[in-house]
Amino acid sequence: MQLAIQEAGLPRILAASAAGAFGKAIGRKGLFYQLAGPAVRAIDGPTQYSLYPSNVSAKLAPENPEKAARELAERLRKELPEKAATTFQGVAIIDANDLGCNILGQATTVSEDRIAEIFKDNPLGQGAQRTPLAVVVLPHQK
């Protein structure tokens, strides 16, 4: 919760907490995260299957995921063989879990809706995979 307060501010977290409690009372999930915002939604708590120190500490999302995605995409385009570079669609940094997928940053030619659809069931997993990387091959479009 300290990281959430640090990221969004105490007033916003208090309001989101009240809304989240109200939402649960009426059977509506996710209000806390909707109001707290994407930076709070992307905080990962400690997980027993992670390597130290991630097994005992919470982690913030990347500070500037749009910039990181852009820089990774540029570097990959330079390093890939020419044929692969011409079909390369870019990089997306996502936060996927059992509740869904949030696109934190992206530098792709693929729509955010399509990226979210591809990763909505969290195909990369939530366990011992740690911080996985996926290569998505989309069908050729004419």
Average pLDDT rounded to a whole number, residues 86-105:
84
Total domains present in the chain: 1
Q: What pLDDT does residue 130 have?
A: 55
Q: Left, alpha or beta for 52 (phi > 0: left; psi -120 to 50: alpha)?
A: beta
pTM of the entire predicted model: 0.72
Percent of the chain whose predicted confidence (pLDDT) is above 90:
37
In a domain, 45, yes or no: no
Mean pLDDT, the chain, whole residue set: 85
In a domain, 69, yes or no: yes
**For tokens 């996502």, what's the residue?**
94
Q: Does 1 fall in a domain?
A: no
15 contacts 35 by C-beta, under 8 angstroms: yes
Q: Give the pLDDT of residue 49.
A: 73
**Percent of the residues in the chain that have a pLDDT greater than 70, as a whole number:** 90
Q: What is the mean pLDDT of residues 34-47?
A: 87
Q: Residue 68 forms beta bridges with which residues? A: none
pLDDT single digits (tens) 5-14 = 999 999 999 9
Instruction: Identify the domain containing residue 104 by its residue range.
Output: 63-136
